[in-house]
Amino acid sequence: MRARTALLELLKGSGEWRYFFRACCETSPFRLRSQAWQFREGLAELGYEYPDRGNPELEDALVGLHASSYHTVSPPGGMKSGPPRSAKTFWPGSPSVAPG
């Protein structure tokens, strides 16, 4: 299965993962790419295996999802594109921070 499809399944099935994805996107694409290991572990729990660092497919899919979800819609009223920069850092499975 393609990494993009697997990531969409992970995000669709969990509000925690959507929140984490959004928090990473709000910081920068570099933050998103650097946290690919967590997405890799989440996908492994669903039965999808993606090799570590030797194959950039997962990282490329994350950055591609970021670009397509946050920069293809033009905001109303001429506002700057992209999400607001207010999300706190969140680690999936962390009981101390709840998505909100």
What's the mean pLDDT in 75-89? Answer: 47
Residue 11 neighbours by CB under 8 Å, 6+ apart: 17, 18, 21, 65
Give the CB-side neighbour count of residue 13, counting CA atoms within 13 A. 10
Number of domains in the chain: 1
Lowest mean pLDDT among 29-33, 46-50, 89-93, 94-98: 94-98
d(CA 72, CA 9): 21
Q: What is the pLDDT of residue 75?
A: 45
- Asked, for residue 36, whether it belongs to a domain, the answer is yes
Tokens of 66: 């970021």
Q: What is the pTM of this model?
A: 0.64
Between these two residues, 53 and 64, which has the higher pLDDT value?
64
Query: What is the residue range of 20's domain?
Result: 3-69
Q: Answer yes or no: is 7 within a domain.
A: yes
Examine residue 97 and state whether it is found in any structural domain, yes or no. Answer: no
In a domain, 94, yes or no: no
| CA distances (Å), origin 37, targets 60, 71, 85, 91 | 13, 24, 23, 12
